[in-house]
């Protein structure tokens, strides 16, 4: 019985097997010309931040989702170079 309990605890602690409620996952970003896009699934708050080739950065407002998916876009005045998700 003790071995079974230890095995169960190890299984639940393994990455990707169990996720805590209220966590974001499957986040992704893309850049196309002046536009950067981002999305996340799960639950929590995030925003999209993009760097532009003129040296500026732009960010979206914070999005809060609960057991679903959120998507957002931002636009640079020049071409977008990179984009990433910030979580709180």
Tell me the whole-structure pTM to 2 decimals: 0.74
Cβ neighbours of residue 40 under 8 Å, at least 6 residues apart? 24, 25, 26, 27, 28, 46, 63, 65, 69, 70, 85, 87
Asked if residue 68 lies in contact with residue 41, where contact means CB atoms within 8 angstroms, the answer is: yes
pLDDT band at 1 (very low <50, low <70, confident <90, very high): very low
pLDDT band at 81 (very low <50, low <70, confident <90, very high): very high
- The 10s digit of each residue's pLDDT in 12-65 is 444 433 344 569 999 999 999 999 999 999 999 999 999 999 999 999 999 999
Tokens of 81: 């170079």
């Amino acid at each position: 019985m003790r071995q079974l309990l230890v095995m169960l605890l190890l299984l639940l602690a393994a990455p990707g097997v169990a996720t805590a409620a209220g966590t974001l996952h499957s986040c992704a970003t893309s850049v196309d010309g002046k536009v950067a896009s981002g999305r996340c699934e799960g639950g929590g708050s995030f925003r999209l931040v993009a760097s532009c080739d003129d040296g500026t950065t732009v960010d979206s407002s914070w999005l809060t989702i609960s057991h679903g998916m959120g998507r957002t876009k931002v636009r640079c005045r020049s071409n977008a170079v990179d984009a990433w998700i910030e979580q709180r």
